[in-house]
Chain A
């Protein structure tokens, strides 16, 4: 099976800043491939290179078997791109936006309606409304419909869930899952670690470098330590106190608890003694399974 994207040693500099540093990866057909990393990690730059909007300074990249630099005209016909800021015309209605993108890509809404019906049906009742007046979740659905309307082989989604409420985010990932049956390969970036589990494969990216590429479960399994969640009412004080504890390796906030690893990978009574002495007596400690974020932080620390 042919790889949809084949990238080897991509680098891109903006002045003296290295936005991308030696990026290599490959994406298989009909895969949902996620790029997970904080803001400024280089995700958008990478996506712009994939969509032929930018040229890499070094390295080679082939998308759908075509060279991004020389075959960009042909390639652009087969890519559906949804930039970070939903690129909709705010003053045009929902329907007009969709029709416009359909004509520009040489198709009609009717022709590929089946592909977007699942997504578009949510916003169809509002089709006479100006896109600028839609909610974040609806804008996102419209932008996705617009990116899909020409039935692209590759769908590139740059932070599609940023600024969208939790329910819409979850719905959105359900929709992406359904698109797989149409043989559309999807690459998607997100700063939300919890969304990584919805991908077939993820790449953790930080400061323009890829830290790890694997199936999300395998990335979690790669966590090398035993992880514990520690809970207390005074979470902030707890973190600071835990960080001072000599046996603590790492302590990071995680939701309403703290994820902690210890040098000897176990919890003993001296920890409780220490915490009580420091004035924290209500702690609950449990062994936990590492998530993507834990692995991400571990890898980040290693590279530093």
Chain B
């Protein structure tokens, strides 16, 4: 036991001596959360729109105010002619133009319908879709309000779309769980595989092998320090996403942390497995980055929904641990469900962890090749 503790102590010394490792451990996750949360944001906030009001009546004024005051848009300009549309898009600040036809208010009152056009800047398809969807939602809402007192004899049914778990469709809510999933597997697997292959490269593994340390002690000795640090990392990420994005944890925080621990352990053992098959640090880094990062981003359901993938990718993604963890973490953080709904995924992660530990201990060479 004393031997083992000595080994763990040495590992901690390695980590704290190496500023780069510390930076990778704590700097990158924080940076990733902020980058993904802000830069890759899928929300619209203060998107520029221009108004071309050919009617200028009370109703168009009210509707315009409603749109502008929603918080999603800000008015860049009031246009006077159709000819101005092209010019205002070319300036780049305006993402969409809303056009009220002439006599909009009169037609609406008299005939019960009036036309409104939304012209969006298609060079940014993502924003364009979002802007039109948001605008249409606001317009629908407005007609509903208008319809009730004005035409209470005919009931118009308007489809109302409401997001259940992410009512404002805030994309941080989608990204934070994904980023946690990605960062943990990447850092844990990368760090452990690199520290073990470093011992091989510097020749210190030779002496460790000759020492009375048992393989399981060497493996656990490598795992424990990173386990503790990664766990601190999880707390850091959760605190950061709560403070910066106001992302709450709807479910049990204890359950969430326990699931994170399981996932960290799984990633660490995966890293050890990588180190047993790679001969040097470069190889270990290569396998960890290429073998884990890309599949996690592309296939785990982090960005692209698994349901929309071809069946083949669906099957491939089944062997990826992140796929299951994403389900778990989204369930707990956003839906607030309990273990009842995620026991299957949890079980799969546990089995994977045991499998990796077993394989690592078996593949860990007690001799040189």
Contact = CB atoms under 8 A, between A and B. Distances in A.
Given A54-B367, A76-B211, A103 B203 contact: no
Nearest to B7: A104
B90 to A, nearest CB: 57
Nearest to B221: A104
A89 B206 contact: no
Given A76-B211, A91-B17, A83 B206 contact: yes
A48 B213 CA distance: 18
B367 A55 contact: yes
Given A54-B368, A103-B2, A84 B10 contact: no
Contact of A104 (B13, B14, B208, B366): B208
A91 B14 contact: yes
A90 B202 contact: yes
Contacts of B206: 48, 53, 81, 83, 87
A81 B5 CA distance: 22
Determine chain B's interface SS by DSSP, over half rule: helix
A76 to B, nearest CB: 5
B18 interface: yes
Given A92-B10, A100-B10, A84 B2 contact: no
B204 interface: yes
A87 B7 contact: no
Contacts of B9: 100
Interface residues of B, number: 25
Nearest to A147: B207
Nearest to A74: B212
Interface in A280-299: none
B203 A53 contact: no
A96 interface: yes
A104 B213 contact: yes
Given A83-B207, A91-B14, A100 B202 contact: no
Interface in A3-61: 48, 51-55
Interface of B: 2-3, 5-7, 9-10, 13-14, 17-18, 202-204, 206-213, 366-368
28 contacts: A48-B368, A52-B367, A53-B206, A54-B367, A55-B367, A76-B209, A81-B207, A83-B207, A84-B203, A85-B203, A87-B203, A90-B202, A92-B13, A96-B13, A99-B6, A100-B7, A100-B10, A101-B211, A103-B2, A103-B3, A103-B5, A103-B6, A104-B7, A104-B211, A105-B3, A106-B212, A130-B17, A146-B207
